[in-house]
């Protein structure tokens, strides 16, 4: 359900997708060194994401007939992608303007952290590493 396309990430905002949920998933204390690493990863990929249904409901309801056409035309998603991703909890974050902070280097170099992060975000092994 979570996908990274170009520099856009789409995911469902579940209770696990909060900072406390991330610390619980990774099994770290929040103020420890490992907790700060998890917090930096969470900040880079999840913090500040926009709820797409709320964005549609508040700003684009009159312009687009339904939520599916909003996703198709505004975010250039294909019909099969919309069918798989459509949810009231669907969030979007653009990584274009994020300060790198060497988080991407950490995920590319360390296979253990990378595989755990993929489990956290529910990203399969077929997803591109870019």
Residue 128 in domain: no
How many domains, in total, are found in the chain?
1
Return d(Cα 69, Cα 50) in angstroms, integer.
Answer: 18
35 touches 23 (CB < 8 A): yes
Residue 48 in domain: yes
Residue 44's nearest CA partner among 119, 124, 102, 130 is 102
Pairwise pLDDT comparison (73 vs 130), residue with the higher score: 73
40 touches 33 (CB < 8 A): no
Residue 19 in domain: yes
90 touches 10 (CB < 8 A): yes
Quick: pLDDT tens for 18-42. 899 999 999 999 999 989 989 988 8
Residue 80 in domain: yes
Q: For residue 17, what are the contacts with CB-CB under 8 A and spacing of at least 6?
A: 11, 46, 91
Residue 47 in domain: yes
Return the pLDDT at 127.
44
Q: 């996703």: which residue's tokens?
A: 71
Residue 75 in domain: yes
Residue 129 in domain: no
3-state secondary structure of 59: helix
Residue 107 in domain: yes
Residue 101: domain span: 3-121
Return d(Cα 33, Cα 99) in angstroms, integer.
Answer: 20
pTM summary value: 0.75
């Amino acid at each position: 359900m979570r996908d990274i396309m170009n520099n856009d990430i789409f995911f469902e905002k579940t209770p696990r997708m909060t900072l406390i949920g991330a610390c619980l998933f990774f099994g770290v204390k929040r103020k420890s060194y490992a907790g700060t690493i998890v917090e930096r990863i969470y900040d880079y990929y999840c913090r500040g994401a926009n709820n797409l249904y709320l964005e549609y409901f508040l700003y684009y309801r009159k312009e687009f007939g339904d939520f599916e056409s909003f996703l198709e035309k505004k975010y250039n998603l294909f019909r099969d992608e919309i069918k798989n991703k459509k949810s009231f909890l669907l969030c979007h974050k653009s990584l274009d303007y994020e300060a790198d902070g060497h988080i991407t280097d950490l995920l590319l170099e360390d296979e253990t952290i990378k595989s755990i992060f993929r489990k956290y975000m529910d990203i399969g092994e077929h997803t591109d590493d870019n």
